[in-house]
Chain A
Amino acid sequence: MYVLRRLVTALAVAWLAISLAFVALRWAPGDAVDATMGRAGVPPEDLEARRDELGLNDPVWRQYGAYLGGIVRGEWGESLVSGQPVREMIAQSIGATAVLALSALTVAVVLGISLGIVAGVSSWAGLRYGAEALASLALSTPIYWTATLVIYLFTVVLDVLPGVGGRGVRYLILPACVLGFHTAGSIAQVTASSVRQAAGQDFVWTARAKGLPGLDVLDHILRVGLLPIVAVVALQFGFLLGGTVITEMIFVRQGLGRVLLTAVDTRDYPVIQGVVAFSALVYSLINALADVLYRLIDPRLEGAS
């Protein structure tokens, strides 16, 4: 029941985001007809005829209805530049982006949680501050800067990994680490404060008093401190989707980010609109999934709605 309700909310949020994209597009100077045929010097009567055909002269509410209907049916419009259906462009590029985002997320989770645990509860102050500083550094270093550094380090100085372009796992390592490193910063900070708080509770004293080894105590602490960590990981998805834009550009990879950048450069509004709608849909659904997951992790949430 909760799952269903959460799904409906997610779709409502996505619908609102998609509507915002529609409203924003109405402000764009010129329309699809101007952009494609107007530039080619087609006479105005023909332009008008084409507008009638495309429904651009219909009242706004009807266009809005047609637009929403199109999204539901999977007709996301066509690129003004290439004429390729937007749905097809997204379908072709989403695989590469998903692989990059998921690998980066894996790096971020492993690195972020380890750093966070060290920064939160390590018994050596130097290590604690070091881990904290590293997490801050990860957050303060933009992807476009880290990427430049690691490409130089690993392809020029060390010459162990390929830099830009290409396909395959070897080409994935650097971009995934760069994107993951930046994301690890926030995960580490949340993990640190969460485990620090959990470590201060009475049951941790009890566990220590009865002589549990350190790792078992850590297990106790992590179980209690897990929820905020899962929450921040889910939130990072939005960032990852944005971060892939710059990562794909620097590492010359195919993907949704490149599609978006090209579309922004050519003012290809239907494509921009499609990418915006798509990311809103993905992000809402992932967050709904995360909310469902919280209840599995912490059944106490059942009561509080």
Chain B
Amino acid sequence: MIARGVIPRITDRRGVRMRRIVALALLGVIVMAVMGAPWLARYGPRETAPDDQFQRPSADHLFGTDLLGRDVYSRVLYGGRHTLSLALLTAAITLLPGLGIGLVAGSAGGWIDRGLMAFMDALLAIPSLVTALALVALVGSGSAEIALAVGIAGVPAYARVTRAAVLAVRARPFIDSARAIGTRYPGLLQRYILPNAAAPLVAFAGVTLSWAILNSAALTFLGYGGDITSPDWGVMLADGRQAFRTAPWAAFAPGAALSLTVFAIHLLAGSFRAQPG
């Protein structure tokens, strides 16, 4: 049951390429479907038709209809726009401060590093969903509020990863060489440290994005998105869950869309991490 030896590198490399192709193809389809929602959708995302309540999937309604007779297929397409743009905003709110704090802490060292990291550790000690919920209680419901709350909750993890990546590169001999030929900050950071720390940073940015999708959708699922009629995968899952016994399709489509998107991003991020160097 155990491999005879080390998995040969060549298959590993082929596996990485395969994974990347599958992931990019999946993401391409998802992004195009979501961007093309106005052309691909047959109904408006908020268009109700009380007579068509809980229709089974058919040629007219590919994924069926929900409680209010809304076309699930159209809502999933439009919902992707809301869910994914919310996740992108969330990820931006996590990545920019996280990157900044990590770079400063990793570069400066000393008491600045210790102070920043103590602060990050304190935030990390609170489960991120608990942090996000507490922040939502402070700033209120709404899309931007969710992005802010979930985004802030993610900052410490990305700051830690960035700092670790910077420290790992700084320990390598070519940094000493660069210093010896007179390179100083910020040139050292820009020309030597960042390019060599890029692989883990990109991989973890992917992980952060998928985390942002799942967690911001969790908050819309819990009903903190403000607009409860908005097409959003989290909102649709929450609605569909209520009627899952009679009409499982209403929740199935947004759930599958959510899983597929996150799966593709994980796959892509993993292929970056697996790449040597």
Contacts and interface: CB of A to CB of B under 8 A. Distances in A.
Contacts, number: 157
Interface residues of B, number: 53
Given A16-B118, A245-B133, A121 B3 contact: yes
Interface stretch (B103-111, B191-199, B237-245): B237-245
A275 B130 contact: yes
Q: Which of B5, B130, B238, B260 has the most CB of A within 10 A?
A: B130
A141 interface: yes
A242 B262 CA distance: 19
Contacts of B11: 125
Contact of B126 (A137, A152, A276): A276
A126 interface: no
A41 B142 CA distance: 29
Contacts of A94: none
A264 B145 CA distance: 14
Contacts of A284: 125
Q: Could you tell me the dominant secondary structure of chain A's interface residues?
A: helix
A191 to B, nearest CB: 14
Given A20-B122, A121-B2, A276 B263 contact: no
B3 A123 contact: yes
A238 B124 contact: yes
Nearest to A127: B1
A238 B241 CA distance: 27
Given A142-B218, A246-B222, A24 B267 contact: no
A161 interface: no
B245 A148 contact: no
Nearest to A15: B122
A249 interface: yes
A263 to B, nearest CB: 7
Contacts of A144: 218, 221, 234, 237-238, 241
A17 B125 contact: yes
Contact of B267 (A136, A221, A238): A136
A148 B262 contact: no
Interface in A114-169: 121-123, 125, 129, 136-137, 139-142, 144-145, 148-149, 151-152, 156
B174 interface: no
Interface string A1-43: 0000000000011101101110010011000000000000000
Interface of B: 1-7, 11, 15, 118-119, 121-131, 133-138, 210, 214, 217-218, 221-222, 224, 234, 237-238, 240-241, 244-245, 248, 251, 255, 258-260, 262-263, 266-267, 270
Given A19-B122, A122-B2, 4 more contacts: A122-B3, A139-B266, A141-B262, A200-B5
12 contacts: A20-B123, A24-B138, A148-B241, A205-B5, A208-B5, A263-B137, A264-B224, A269-B137, A279-B125, A280-B122, A280-B126, A283-B127
